Structure 1
């Protein structure tokens, strides 16, 4: 039992779970536009997500307590280091112009943890956290695979990019709600400014707008549309039941795992 709990904790805390979610969102884009991408891209997305998330989560902790790190955090550091090396290895198998695009989306992640202006990182700026995450996720999971496979970004792809930003914003809201008791008031997160219920209603409205955007596309895949609808309903329901004091793994496992479920639904519907 202890081993299984350790494995689950490591799986979540080392960002493997969230990295698989990012890969799933990338795969959804690949399926929606029938793209052909190299295997190195999947490795790049996965190890890039692990490296980026662990850097943001643990850089400050490691810097302050590097001599007194727990065994679990040391293990995560080693895993993150190996992931970074794997990321560098796979970079050489991808076009350099694509790396410049990926770098543009990666820079906000770096300055999210590292001071940018007057000893402040991007997280210190009011209400910007979820939009940075949404922008980076959308760029990596939509723009990057389209550029590596096609080279051109169409109007439909831009609409998908906007949809993805909106979806990730809503995915972040249960985390914002969860962190209400712990976040500094200076952060001015959405729940702090409009309340928990207001945040939930805003999220439901964003999901509705996301669905409306689908009907502005020049061509729509039926399987994608239905899977998007089902995913939105499920995400909306999970958002409604979110609360400041929630189960330990409600947000970090179930919410973060929804993109993986979305990918599974899309695969199932596309095979019918």
Structure 2
């Protein structure tokens, strides 16, 4: 494998792509709410996303959550440890008012992979409910924390933004759920496993409609912002239409997760 392909594979496998997606949505929240970007919070969210996703992907299967055998996975583990150290630094320089919310969100993220008790199940095993849990966590990191950091009053616009972000995350998760429906354990009863691909897509179409409708519920949005959100709703709809049980290798892990990154790039010009 050539080094560009190896680098791209590591970029995806080490969760750098999904971390960029999360921090991009954080940036969109800052721009939407007219809050100056806090680099420390953005850096913490980026680094902690890498650590969390790599732990979920590799730590759960590792012995005692940390002992991995494959050299490639050890490389990702070392990268994750370094990223964790940077995340701790960013955490310590953040306002103390953010510490408790961050700890709660981080604990919730950890319980997604680690069981509550030694003989109990983790939150990931909740099947159809897990996508709602993931969406809540993403909303917490990409909307709730920026709002707290910016000392904004929780008003109607922020409530709408949180709901719209929740809907968007649910929508972006569906292609992954459909892709993994034959890999996930039958006991999980994910949405595609329980209701089938077609009904899951219909649920997604309603999410697209809900996302589009919420755009007009926020006061004082520019025409450019409204059009941008409508375009991204259309992009998400196209992705959902093209979602199949058998997907190309990078359809969900790169293209679908790339939608928030593209959104963040577009908002650089607003």
The reply to whether residue 57 of structure 1 matches residue 66 of structure 2 is no
Q: What are the superposed Cα offsets for residues 44-74 of structure 1, whole Å, 9 maximum, x if unpaired?
A: 1110111111111111222269666211100
Matches within 5 A, 1:209-224: 209-224=210-225
Aligned residue in 1 for 2:72? 72
DSSP 3-state at the match of 1:127 = helix
Aligned-partner Cα distance in 1 for 2:176–2:20: 18
**CA–CA distance in structure 2, aligned partners of residues 223 and 96 of structure 1:** 36
Deviations along 1:193-224, one digit per CA (max 9) or x if unpaired, are: 22111111111111111221222223323332
The more displaced of 109-118 and 71-80 is 109-118
Q: Look up the match of 1:267.
A: 268
2-structure distance, mates of 1:50, 1:221: 34
Kept in 1: contact 2:112–2:124 (CA 8 A): yes
Query: Alpha carbon RMSD of aligned pairs, Å?
Result: 1.6
Quote the offset at 1:43 in angstroms: 0.9
The residue that corresponds to 1:183 in the other structure is 184
1:256 shift after superposition: 0.6
Cα distance in 2 between the residues matched to 1:32 and 1:11: 28
- What residue in structure 2 maps to residue 13 of structure 1? 13
Q: Specify whether residues 68 and 47 from structure 1 end up closer, same or farther in structure 2 by C-alpha distance, changes over 3 A only.
A: closer
SS in 2 for 1:258: helix
Name the CA distance, whole Å, in 1 between partners of 2:196 and 2:147: 38
CA offset at residue 84 of structure 1? 0.7
Q: Distance in 1 between matches of 2:130 and 2:10?
A: 24
Is the 8 Å Cα contact of residues 23 and 42 (structure 1) preserved in structure 2?
yes
Question: Residue 253 of structure 1: CA displacement?
Answer: 0.6
CA drift at 1:119 = 2.0
Which position in structure 2 is the counterpart of 1:236?
237
Count of aligned residue pairs for this structure pair: 269
Taking the aligned partners of 2:112 and 2:216, their CA distance within structure 1 comes to 34
Rounded Cα–Cα distance in structure 1 between residues aligned with 2:216 and 2:66: 51
Residue 159 of structure 1, CA deviation: 0.9
- Structure 1, gaps ≥5 residues long: none
CA distance in 2, matches of 1:72, 1:36: 39
Please give the alpha-carbon distance, in whole angstroms, between the structure 1 residues aligned to 2:2 and 2:141: 36
Q: Mark the runs of 5 or more structure 2 residues left unpaired by the alignment.
A: none
Instruction: Mark the CA change 1:216 to 1:127 in structure 2 (over 3 Å): closer, same or farther.
Output: same
Q: What SS does the aligned partner of 1:98 have?
A: helix
Structure-1 separation of matches of 2:133 and 2:110: 11
TM-score if structure 1 supplies the norm length?
Answer: 0.94
- TM-score by length of structure 2 reads 0.94
Residue matched to 1:126:
127
Structure 1 partner of 2:160: 159
1:81 counterpart residue number:
81
Report the Cα offset of residue 171 of structure 1.
Answer: 0.3
C-alpha spacing 1:2/1:96, structure 2 compared with 1 (3 Å): same
